[in-house]
Every structure is written in structure tokens, then in C-alpha cells.
Amino acid sequence: MADKIVQSFSCYLSIRFQVYAPAIQVKTKLKNGSYSVKPKPLFPGCIFLRCILNKEIHDFIRECDGVGGFVGSKVGNTKRQINKPRPVSEVDMEAIFRQAKDEQEKNEQAFEEQQQKESLYSGTLNLESNLDSNDATESTVDTKPKGKSKKPSDLLTNSSSKRKGNKRFTPGSTVRVVSGTFAEFEGILKKVNRKTGKATVGFTLFGKESLVDLDVNDIVAETK
């Protein structure tokens, strides 16, 4: 979509503009041993545009194929309403740039760790195969239990108690963004990562749900 907008702007040679679609490059290993790299948008369905926005450009962008409109407040009468574009501050854009960089680094680190685990697992299987093929040797195995195993009911109890402890945010509840790019937007909380302090929130933009990772300090539970 970003490429289409760039091509559309080719007819406005006198206008300086920048199009940014935050995304990370996700690398995966295929079954045949080759690698695949695909972009994963950080804000699905959203593109950031930097330009001097007059009425002509505003109307031109809204008419581009695939563009549903601008993110912002609704203006107009009952017959025709449009979203008035809400500018994104430089501070918020810097935060988005940092988020994209951090997410890319985390993804690359997770991929490397997964590769190391697969390599270690493969080496373990080869070692076990070699041991099985050799002559049997005597070994002493301690069959005494080292600890009391938890019953399934205990696991369920512990799990439910953890969920009950989360009084502030509950997946499926409505939350409101109090700061950042999506300030004053309401969405549905999908999940909370306590380790990273990030919350995944689903926003409905132009009839399509977009999942966005936000800092838990940027959202509050909405009570209605």
C-alpha cells in the first residue's frame, strides 16, 4: 500500500513527502532448509505520511485505491462525515522508530535462539542414536522421585489464581489509550506481556481490526 501511495504522488513533483509503514523483517526457516524473509507490519492497516497537507492533497489521498481515510476525529454533517487528520508529534514518531528497531532486534535474537535450540536438539538425537548402536553398558538409575509432582488440579488452581490476580487488565475488556500516537482511542485488550510491559490492543480502523503493541502505562481500563 505504501508503494502505491508513493507512485500516486509522482504527479505532484513540487511536493515533498515521506511515506512510512512501520514493519519488521521476520525470518523463518522452511522445511527444505531454505530461509524466508517477510515483512510484518507493526501497525496493520496504518501508514504514516509526512507532507504539507492542503485540501487538494487531502482529497487526492482519500481517493487513492485502498485508502479508507485518515485517523483522527470525525467532522462534517449527518449526510457526509470524514476523519480530520490528527498530526503525529515528532516525539511519538521517534518512539515508533525506536519500537520498530527494538522489535527487529528482538525478532532476530529469538530466531538465533531458536536455531541454537534446533541445532542442540539435533545433536542430542545423533548422540542418542550412537549410544543405542553401541554395546549395552551397565548403568545405575535412581528411580526414587526427587520431588512431589503437581496434580493437574493443582496446576489449574495456580493458573486460575494468577488470572484472578490480574484485576487491572483482563483480555477481552475495553481499554482507552491515554498517551502516544493512539491517544484517546478505545480498543479491545487482546493480551498482556508482563515481562516486556507491553499490551496488545485491537483497534477497529475503517472497518478492519488492527493489532497494536502499546506500553501498559499508556492504557487504562475503560469502565462503562
Side by side, which strands form the sheet with 174-177?
208-215, 198-205, 186-193, 174-177, 219-221
Given 58, 91, 124, the domain boundary residue is 91
The whole-number pLDDT of residue 207 equals 64
Alpha-carbon distances of 141 from 132, 136, 138, 144, 145, rounded to whole Å: 17, 14, 10, 9, 11
What cell does 62 get? Answer: 482519500
Number of folded domains that form the chain: 2
Q: Indicate if the alpha-carbon torsion angle 192, 193, 194, 197 is positive or negative.
A: negative
State how far Cα 91 lies from the chain centre.
20
What cell does 184 get? Answer: 484517546
Helix or strand run (H / E) with residue 213? strand 208-215
Given 62, 91, 120, the domain boundary residue is 91
Given 71, 91, 111, the domain boundary residue is 91
The whole-number pLDDT of residue 189 equals 92
Q: pLDDT tens for residues 42-96?
A: 888 888 988 888 888 888 888 888 787 787 766 666 666 666 788 888 888 898 8
What cell does 160 get? Answer: 486460575
SS3 58: helix
CA–CA dist 192, 170 (Å, integer): 8
Angle at 166 between CA 164 and CA 171, to 5 degrees: 100
Range of the domain at 11: 2-91
Q: pTM for this one? A: 0.53
CATH number at residue 216: 2.30.30.30
Q: pLDDT tens for residues 114-142?
A: 877 777 666 555 555 555 555 544 444 45
SS3 87: coil
